[in-house]
Structure 1
Amino acid sequence: WQKMGKAGLFKIGIAQMYGGNGGGYIDLLKAGESFVRNGYNLGLALSWLYQQIIAHYIIRIFGTREQQSQYLIAAAAGKITLSFAVSEPGRGSHPKQLATTAQKQGNLYILNGEKTYLTNGPIAGIFIVIAITDDKTPQKRFTAFIVPRTTEGVTVTQPVAMNFLKPSPHGGIKLENCRVGKKSVLGKEGNAWRDMVVPMGEIEDVVMMGPLLGGAAAQLSLLIAAIREHSSEPDIMLQSELGALHALLQAMRIIAYEAAGRLDRNNASPVPLMITFSRTATEFHERISQITDRLEITGSYEYTYLHRDIESMVALKKGLMQIRQKKIGSALLKA
């Protein structure tokens, strides 16, 4: 992580005035693609890009000039690690179920609750905590707070055990009468769910297409190398299957780049492209799995490692996309 900072990887997506190299979502996506294509590690790419998304979207868009200067400069230099705290134990991330509160007392807010499954949670120095600030309205109102790890009342819980996407650390925090001032409020009070949480989900899904692209490209290259090593006879059927995999990979890249472009231009919803990418990635994964199973190719350590992590990510994204598809279908029937 520290070496990545020295290499300047944390500068991508952060404005030059704060010590970054600039760039938008397309640059983050392409960087993630190259990172996994050459490094064979989805987990590290996930942790790195999640940090960059928080800096590029949450702090850049909603932070005050003082907050931007304080946190973006440090983030670009790799001196702080950020974590976005939404999900809660036994409650998930559905707004109706969340219970972490921030009660206003004079010039202070008193935070109480617990957050879990936080990407980079165990190593984060700064948490962006989403808490309820008004539960009297028909819909709960949420506000985002910048909460340093060292704040009194913050306890970092044990890391969540995960057998995939290593070494990306996931963990949680407990907030017990945690006091923060008005300057810790990020964005407009009461609007965090609409302004941050919902868009953040779409942004994360789009930018993480990059690592999946890089992983799929690396898998295909490793598979071709293994086939060359184990077989000297040309197989027409196999050639056709490899051609199909290559075509799927190119289609995934076109979809991903356009989705990231839409985020940067802010001129169209990326959701249709997100759904299509997920379906195409699923087909790619299923096809390449069938080939390796049929040919009984064990593959290298890198291939096996990538295959496991891609399988986990594809399954997770598939579930999320099914929810999005259902919402679209419901809206179509009501129209």
Structure 2
Amino acid sequence: MDFQLSDEQIAFKNSVFNFARKEIGLNDEETQKYDEKNEFRWDVWKKIANFGLLGLPLPEKYGGAGADTLTTLVGMEAFAHGAGDQGTSLAWGAHTVLCGVPIMLLGTEAQKERYLPKIATGEWIGGFALTEPNAGSDAAAVQLRAVKKGDKYILNGTKMFITNGPIGKVFVVIASTNKELKHFGITAFLVESDFPGFSVARKLNKMGFRTSPTAELVFEDCEVPAENILGAEGDGFIGVGLTILEWERSCLLAAGVGSLEAAMETCIKYAKQRQQFGRPIAEFQAIQHKLADMKVALEASRLLVYRVGCMKDKGIPAMLEASIAKLYISEVGLKVADDAVQIHGGYGYMKEYPVERGYRDAKIGTLGAGTSEIQRMIISRIILDLKKKSRGGAEHGF
């Protein structure tokens, strides 16, 4: 499979990188300030919107750029590399990939017309609400109930760790409409924040990714019009859920690739400047080996992500490949973040150095969008039973 980027994709990648570096990355003190305050960067969000990134994969008909999957991955990688702000990258991904893309792929024409233009411009911020206090990887165990009453569904329950929760206007919400049917009794709804019965219970205080706002959402007799079902009733796991998670594990990990490159460049610059024993630490083999390992991790991660993008653009199911990419990039990301702090020594432990923030940010990769343990479960089930079951079947779970 050819992963070579076209001239247009290379030019786009450079353009996004230069934009992100100029508008965000060159002022890391500002990023650090918002990280410490645990605040969303509205000024940066407006710049991203004006640059046209929020609607990158969405159809031009609805105000998007109409980019294919690989180009979308390239854009997310370049932005994360240039900006050095993983929280903002995550907020963008949750908005565009986890909310906009499923509406694009599975929504009715009326849903597309209502939501996609607002998502493309950033007028409305979107999110994806799956995880609950007692249900995460086991999606069939969701406790949020949706009961039909006339031309509406009444939702009751709680969602936890929802990216963009405090600021979102529309969410793809996964709920149970028939618990006896388990996976086949799960339905996805488009819920607006001003629907009666919807509320943000509390904003959460995270270890990392602090510029992406996260919340606990409460649905208390929340009234959702039946026309706001995304897909069909009972299709929230097989159709919507797996579609979202395959995109999530590829697109959001593209930002992880960009962050790996940013960390490596920071370490190279520091190693050339930092003097010990009368010479730059870049001349010591121990440092050289860490940097070499970072480069290998970066290139392998990029190829894994690009492979998923190419497969999706060709219409090939990529659940296995997406899980492989997710597992590898998130775990190697932790190693790179640790080595980055080690290369910086005591300074790497200080708040004013970006590698300290990168170390805190890196941990979420092994937890969000399916833990490392879940990825290993998915991969092992597929390779052990490859001939009998599809590469993207519901039996593999979230």
Normalised TM-score (structure 1) = 0.89
Quote the offset at 1:208 in angstroms: 1.6
Q: Given the alignment of the two structures, is residue 208 of structure 1 paired with residue 252 of structure 2, yes or no?
A: yes
2-structure distance, mates of 1:126, 1:276: 29
CA contact (8 A) 1:256 1:273 kept: yes
Q: Compared with structure 1, are the counterparts of its residues 68 and 295 closer, same or farther at alpha carbon in structure 2 (3 Å cutoff)?
A: closer
Contact 1:206–1:260, Cα closer than 8 Å, also in 2: yes
Distance (Å, rounded) in 1 between the aligned partners of 2:240 and 2:75: 23
Aligned to 1:306: 358
Letter of the structure 2 residue corresponding to residue 15 of structure 1: P
Provide the residue aligned with 2:385 in structure 1: 331
Name the residue aligned to 2:173.
129
**Other-structure match for 2:61:** 17
> Alpha-carbon deviation of 1:42?
0.9
Number of equivalenced pairs = 335
Q: Distance in 2 between matches of 1:179 and 1:243?
A: 55
1:89-238 correspondence runs (5 A): 89-137=133-181, 140-231=184-275, 232=279, 234-236=283-285, 238=287
The answer to which of 62-71 and 134-143 deviates more is: 134-143
Q: Which residue of 1 aligns with 2:108?
A: 64
RMSD of Structure 2 on Structure 1 (CA): 2.6
Which amino acid is the alignment partner of residue 304 of structure 2? I
CA contact (8 A) 1:14 1:22 kept: yes
Higher relative contact order (CA 8 A, sep 6+): 1
The verdict on how the C-alpha distance between 1:241 and 1:122 changes in structure 2, with shifts beyond 3 A counting, is closer
- Counterparts of 2:223 and 2:362, CA distance in 1: 41
**Is 1:269 matched with 2:322?**
no
**For residues 93 and 66 of structure 1, what CA distance do their matches in structure 2 show?**
31
How far 1:102 sits from its partner (Å)? 1.6
Q: What percent identity do the matched residue pairs reach?
A: 24
Q: Deviations over 1:30-89 (max 9, x none)?
A: 122111211111111011012111344310111111110110011111100112122222
User: In the TM superposition, what is the alpha-carbon distance from 1:207 to its structure 2 partner?
Assistant: 0.8
SS of 1:271 mapped into structure 2? helix
Q: Which moved more, 1:127-136 or 1:61-70?
A: 127-136
How far apart, in 1, do the equivalents of 2:106 and 2:162 lie?
A: 20
CA distance in 2, matches of 1:280, 1:185: 34
Where structure 2 has 5 or more consecutive residues not aligned to the other structure, the ranges are 1-44, 390-398
Selected match of 1:45 from 83, 89, 93: 89
Counting only pairs closer than 5 Å after superposition, residues 255-294 of structure 1 correspond to structure 2 as 255-272=304-321, 274-275=323-324, 278-279=327-328, 282-283=331-332, 285-286=334-335, 289-290=338-339, 292-293=341-342
Tell me if the contact between 2:250 and 2:326 (Cα under 8 Å) persists in the aligned partners: no
Query: CA separation of 1:173/1:28 partners in 2, compared to 1, >3 Å: closer, same or farther?
Result: same
Give the 4+ runs in structure 1 shifted more than 6 A. 332-335
**CA gap 1:291/1:41 in 2 versus in 1, 3 angstroms:** closer
Aligned equivalent of 2:37: none
Q: Distance in 1 between matches of 2:375 and 2:301?
A: 15
Given that 1:86 and 1:93 are in contact with CA atoms closer than 8 Å, whether structure 2 keeps it comes out as no
My pick for the range that moved more, 56-65 or 309-318, is 309-318
Q: Using the alignment, how far apart are the partners of 2:373 and 2:304 within structure 1?
A: 19
Which deviates the most, 213-222 or 227-236? 227-236
Query: Is the deviation greater in 166-175 or in 300-309?
Result: 300-309
Q: In structure 1, list runs of 5 or more residues that go unmatched.
A: none
Deviations 1:145-204 (A, max 9, x none): 222111111122101221211111111222222222222122111111100112322211
CA distance in 2, matches of 1:77, 1:144: 24
Deviation at 1:213, TM superposition (A): 0.8
Q: 1:253 aligns with which of 302, 305, 309?
A: 302
1:65–1:276 distance in 2 versus 1, CA, 3 Å: closer
**Following the alignment from structure 1 to structure 2, what is the Cα–Cα distance between the partners of residues 284 and 251?**
12
Q: Which stretch of structure 1 is more off in the superposition, 109-118 or 37-46? A: 109-118
Change (3 A) 1:164 1:294: closer
Structure 2 residue matching 1:226: 3-state secondary structure: helix
How far the C-alpha of 1:330 sits from its partner, in A, is 5.4
In 1, the alpha carbon distance for the partners of 2:123 and 2:343 equals: 48
Give TM-score scaled by structure 2 length.
Answer: 0.76
Partner secondary structure for residue 209 of structure 2? coil
Asked if 2 retains the 8 angstrom alpha-carbon contact of 1:157 and 1:171, the reply is yes
| Paired AA for residue 323 in structure 1 | M
CA contact (8 A) 2:159 2:216 kept: yes
- Whichever residue aligns with residue 92 of structure 2, its letter is W
> 2: distance between equivalents of 1:280 and 1:210?
9
CA distance in 2, matches of 1:315, 1:108: 34
